[in-house]
Amino acid sequence: MSWNLPRYRYAWLEQEKGKWYFLTDLFADPEDSTRSWPDSRTALEELGNEGWTVVSPYPGSTWPASPDHSRGYGLMRISDATQPSSPASHTEPRIPSVN
């Protein structure tokens, strides 16, 4: 069985110095990112069209607002929107029956 999974399953959209950066490594320097946007709405719309969805914003409502804390979104890729989807390319795993 082969899975057609995208190269990255998890990513982050993080704000720094007024720009939003797409990161596939949580510990990477946002300014080293090759993709950035002036606002989160545009970034999330474009990334959503590529199959990414927001898992969780951070800091969450439990964190006090502070300039020292990063701000952004945890993302998960739920589909590879860059590849055409065909029923033959997606096979469901077979779950063995327990008797």
Q: What is the pLDDT of residues 42-84, one digit of tens each?
A: 999 999 999 999 998 887 554 455 555 678 999 999 876 555 5
How far apart CA 44 and CA 53 sit, in angstroms, is: 8
- Residue range 17-40, pLDDT digits in tens: 889 999 999 888 998 999 999 999
pTM: 0.65
The domain locations on the chain are 10-81
Percent of the chain predicted with pLDDT > 70: 62
β-pair type (71-77, 19-23): unpaired
Residues sharing a CB contact under 8 Å with residue 1, sequence separation 6 or more, in sequence order:
91, 93, 94
